[in-house]
């Protein structure tokens, strides 16, 4: 009852104020000394009244909302807060987003309408290609083509199946996932344009890996967690590791291709091979699915090689990320030597594992060799120096029967995730150095790499080395950066305890490191000496500049006489 009375009084006061404003009697509350201020003040009252009135009041006092024509001339609309849709396009090459009016990607420079998916790295990065005819490879023909004659005529086999392209992220997000089917499409387009595949390489038929073979690498829980995704339209193991209903099949095909390639190479049916597969595998551990990886393809291939007769297997991982899954699987196994070169940065770079002190355990110490770079921007010289002074000496002493390269190309120049600077010729050089091991029996397995131009050109360069078609110049002594030298020195200091062949190399690199540090100290000492003999800066000002020059020249003459 009290509430109702109060509401009636409030309504009456509102009507009264509205009437006063509409009848012009509101001027009594205005300053009558200045008539020019009356109209703006009345307008402010009206605006205030508009805010306070209810819908009923508005209906009964329509005159409050009727404005004169002369006031409409200076009317300006109030800014309306609403989300402005910015039209963007995502670069085909590196997936970075760009504004609609940009022609080329601000990140990698790739043209908006690049034909990299149909021409590979032969496509022009700056404009649409008019001079090159698009070659659409018959992927089905690649899969179905199988003859003993082609195997006899070719020393290099390639494993590929188009069903692996069906593994893709279903959920549409604000940014395309870097591990996408276009990675394989760009490589296949480059190989087709170069006349390498199909043509000079032998395509092996694809098969899905069996559960019994996977059980030698992964736990039953791991295998079941991957298999259950075939019943789901979309799922996620981690925030960045997706799956759809085709992912389990793609992972089985990738592992099966790697196993069959390893068996074919060890048995001598082909000399070497390249597994053009996805999803990648080196982050997949005994139980864990992570880092875009479902099944560990390199581990499956290593065990398949041993089943085919190889006693000792070398796995060299040059992906920019540490292969924590591969290390976990073999860190107690002396028959498999795992060497990884990766960004580490004191554990702050994904996945955070792979420090130089991680060497294996339970009798297999020294069979895990981690070369953890302390920063990004690592170049060919750093990798070559590490190969010459760590990788090759240890691998030669190990004397593998079979070599596997976990070939992630995300340390390549321009990769959006890697942030390093390896060139295609750098990858070709590393492949050439490893080719001398195990009698040339080598399998290269695709891991990461998310810049299509970099990954396709680098993969092509590596396959040319496998075919023996690429002339790789002999390496001269390439001197690394200071941080690269420090990393190699720290790795040698640890691995020197397990590999006798490293002792003279460790002493040599230690001398290089001491000279590098000593040279810095000498420079610092000379700099401090110069600072002591220099006159304070304020002597240079005004009329004292002449005196400063005279004193300084006098000291120089005196120092020359003393010498």
Token representation of residue 267: 């048995």
Task: Tell me the pLDDT of the chain (563 aa) as tens digits.
Answer: 434 433 444 444 444 444 444 444 444 444 444 444 455 555 555 555 554 554 445 445 545 545 444 444 443 444 545 555 667 899 999 999 999 888 999 999 999 999 999 999 999 998 766 556 655 554 444 444 444 444 544 589 999 999 999 999 999 888 899 999 999 999 999 999 999 988 899 999 999 999 999 999 999 999 999 999 999 999 999 999 999 999 999 999 999 999 999 999 999 999 999 999 999 999 999 999 999 999 999 999 999 999 999 999 999 999 999 999 999 999 999 999 999 999 999 999 999 999 999 999 999 999 999 999 999 999 999 999 999 999 999 999 999 999 999 999 999 999 999 999 999 999 999 999 999 999 999 999 999 999 999 999 999 999 999 999 877 776 666 789 999 999 999 999 999 999 999 999 999 999 999 988 887 644 444 444 444 444 444 444 444 555 555 556 555 544 444 44
Instruction: Supply φ then ψ for residue 341, to 5 degrees.
Output: -110, 125
Instruction: Supply φ then ψ for residue 137, to 5 degrees.
Output: -70, 140
Please choose, from the candidates 454, 480, 422, the residue with its C-alpha nearest in 3D space to the C-alpha of residue 110. Answer: 454
Positions marked active-site:
283
Which own/partner contact pairs does 216-224 have at CB distance under 8 Å and 24+ positions apart?
216/300, 216/303, 217/286, 217/295, 217/296, 217/299, 217/300, 217/303, 217/329, 218/284, 218/286, 218/287, 218/295, 218/296, 219/286, 219/287, 221/287, 222/284, 222/286, 222/287, 222/288, 222/289
DSSP secondary structure, 337-392, as one string: EEEEEEE-TTTTSTT----TT----TT-TTSEEEEEESSS--BHHHHHHHIIIIIH
The per-residue pLDDT for 476 is 65
3-class SS at 509?
helix
The 10 Å Cβ neighbour count of residue 315 is 27
User: Alpha helices, DSSP H only, in 24-163?
Assistant: 38-52, 55-60, 69-72, 116-119, 139-144, 148-153
The per-residue pLDDT for 540 is 43
The per-residue pLDDT for 19 is 45
Q: How buried is 498 (Cβ within 10 angstroms: 0-12 exposed, 13-18 middle, 19+ buried)?
A: middle
Please choose, from the candidates 251, 406, 430, the residue with its C-alpha nearest in 3D space to the C-alpha of residue 336. Answer: 406
Q: How many whole angstroms separate alpha carbon 447 and alpha carbon 350?
A: 15
Token representation of residue 122: 């032969």
């Amino acid at each position: 009852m009290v509430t109702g009375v109060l509401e009636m009084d409030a309504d009456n006061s509102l009507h009264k104020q509205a009437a006063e404003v509409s009848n012009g009697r509101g001027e009594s509350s205005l300053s009558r000394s200045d008539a020019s201020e009356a109209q703006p003040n009345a307008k402010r009252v009206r605006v205030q009244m508009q805010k306070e009135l209810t819908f009923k009041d508005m209906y009964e006092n329509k005159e409050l909302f009727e404005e004169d024509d002369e006031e409409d001339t200076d009317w300006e609309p109030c800014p309306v807060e609403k989300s402005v849709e910015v039209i963007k396009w995502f670069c085909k090459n590196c997936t970075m987003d760009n504004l609609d009016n940009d022609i080329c990607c601000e990140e990698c420079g790739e043209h908006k309408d690049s034909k990299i998916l149909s021409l590979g790295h032969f496509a022009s990065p700056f404009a649409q290609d008019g001079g090159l005819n698009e070659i659409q490879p018959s992927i089905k023909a690649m899969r179905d083509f199988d003859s003993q004659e082609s195997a006899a005529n070719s020393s290099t086999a390639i494993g590929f199946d188009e069903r692996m392209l069906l593994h893709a992220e279903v959920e549409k997000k604000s940014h395309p996932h870097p591990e996408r089917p276009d990675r394989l499409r760009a490589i296949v387009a480059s190989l087709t344009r170069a006349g390498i595949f199909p043509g000079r390489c032998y395509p092996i038929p694809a098969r899905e890996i069996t559960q019994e073979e996977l059980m030698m690498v992964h736990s039953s829980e791991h295998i079941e967690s991957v298999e259950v995704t075939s019943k789901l339209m979309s799922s996620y193991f981690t925030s960045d590791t997706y799956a759809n209903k085709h992912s389990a099949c793609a992972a089985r095909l990738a592992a099966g291709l790697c196993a069959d390639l390893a068996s074919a190479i060890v048995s001598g049916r082909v000399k070497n091979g390249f597994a053009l597969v996805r999803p990648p595998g080196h982050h997949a551990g005994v139980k864990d699915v992570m880092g875009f990886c479902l099944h560990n393809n390199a581990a499956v291939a290593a065990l398949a090689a041993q089943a085919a007769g190889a006693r000792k297997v070398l796995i060299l991982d040059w992906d920019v990320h540490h292969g924590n899954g591969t290390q976990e699987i073999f860190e107690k196994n002396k028959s498999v030597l795992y060497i990884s070169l990766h960004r580490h940065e004191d554990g702050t770079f994904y996945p955070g594992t792979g420090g130089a002190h991680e060497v294996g355990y339970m009798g297999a110490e020294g069979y895990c060799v981690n070369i953890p770079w302390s920063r990004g921007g690592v170049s060919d010289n750093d990798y070559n120096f590490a190969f010459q002074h760590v990788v090759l000496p240890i691998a030669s002493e190990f004397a593998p029967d079979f070599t596997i390269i976990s070939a992630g190309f995300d340390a390549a120049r321009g990769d959006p995730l890697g942030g390093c600077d390896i060139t295609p010729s750098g990858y070709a050089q590393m492949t050439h150095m490893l080719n001398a091991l195990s009698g040339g029996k080598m399998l290269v397995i695709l891991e990461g790499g998310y810049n299509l131009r970099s990954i396709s050109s680098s993969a092509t360069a590596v396959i040319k080395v496998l075919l023996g078609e690429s002339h790789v110049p002999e390496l001269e002594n390439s001197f690394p950066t200071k941080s690269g030298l420090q990393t190699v020195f720290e790795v040698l200091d640890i691995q020197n305890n397990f590999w006798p062949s490293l002792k003279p190399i460790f002493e040599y690199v230690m001398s290089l490191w001491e000279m590098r540090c000593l040279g810095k100290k000498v420079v610092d000492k000379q700099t401090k000496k110069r600072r002591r003999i220099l006159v304070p800066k304020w002597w240079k000002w005004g009329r004292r500049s002449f005196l400063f020059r005279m004193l300084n020249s006098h000291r120089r003459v005196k120092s020359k006489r003393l010498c």
